[in-house]
Structure 1
Amino acid sequence: MTPPARHLSLSSEEDAALRRLELGAGINVKVRLRASIVRLNASGMTVPHLAQHFGRNPQSVHNDLDRYEQHGIPGLMDGRSSGPPRRITPELDQYLQEKLAEQRLWNSDLLAEALLERFGITVSRDAVRVRLLALGYSWKRGRYAPGQVPDPDVIHEHQASIETLKKGHWTANSPSSF
């Protein structure tokens, strides 16, 4: 015994909305296909004929019709993919925060290298940058400034070179020829 033919009935507004989906530029190909299946079924085409016409499994056609019956036009749309799993886990977040607490200038390339050395995980510098933004860090231009108070003996030893550099000339210790 064959199951009875399945036919949806559409109002003129529903048919017009499905037609706009079918012909709409920038609409996902799968959504356009599902809209066509629903419209052709409503016009009298059976599920086996639709499956043969579109080269699909009859169960897939039934699934498309079920989606439309249950959710209307939004049911024809694909949901968002969750994407690949995150490479930077909470453990790596903690490691990044520890590294940034050090008295050192870090950038996303150096942090990506540190993650590779410590955990063996290859993470792009852009992924590190995005994760740092999510953690509340922001990028500031690096500048030349001593991280700690310079040793007075070192300053005294190089005072002549420092003064020459401030004037924009070669240092006293540099070669005199170019």
Structure 2
Amino acid sequence: MSNTLFAHQPDASNIIISKTDNGQVILQITSSLTAFQQEVNFINGEGYYKTPEEFRNLVIKHFKNRFSLIINKNDTIKFKNPKVFLGHETKLVAEIIGLPEAIKNIQIKNTIFKDIYLSQSMVIFLLSQFPTSKYSLNVDNKYQINLSLKDGNWEKVIAKKTSSYLKYAGYFASLLVLLAMFFVFRKKNKLN
């Protein structure tokens, strides 16, 4: 029953990283066919593809542009042989290559479904070195999560907010220009 409900919810998706019996590490992204169609149509326009194969290729291109996995802050993970399996519950499956032996940091960014209102992805790791908790990617965390291993426990890394007065520089410059214009016009009016 839950698969049936999930297969028709375009705002819900799952990201599962697991290992097969033969030792391959696999990424699987699952959502409704409607979600993938909405994103492909949003990016490319309605009617851009004519065949299921063209649609699969557009989904893979969208995945490559909007999904990233970075390990240990500098190892951008590569994906081999991505394939799309169409159905009410549509899956994108790819082999993960280049996974380092020791893993201390994980950063996942998935903006594949960001154009769907209130979309969220549940991230599930089924590997021994990885966290056992589920994590949600949504608009609140900008569809990304950063995790760090500290004292044997995985913790979310919260980006520190830096207070910068430079963000107000545009407003200040605009105010100065307006004041200068005011004084120029005022001086012209006094002369007349």
TM-score between the two structures when normalised by the length of structure 2:
0.27
Give the structure with the higher percent helix.
1
Give the structure with the higher percent strand.
2
Higher normalized contact order (CA 8 Å, seq sep 6+, divided by chain length): 2
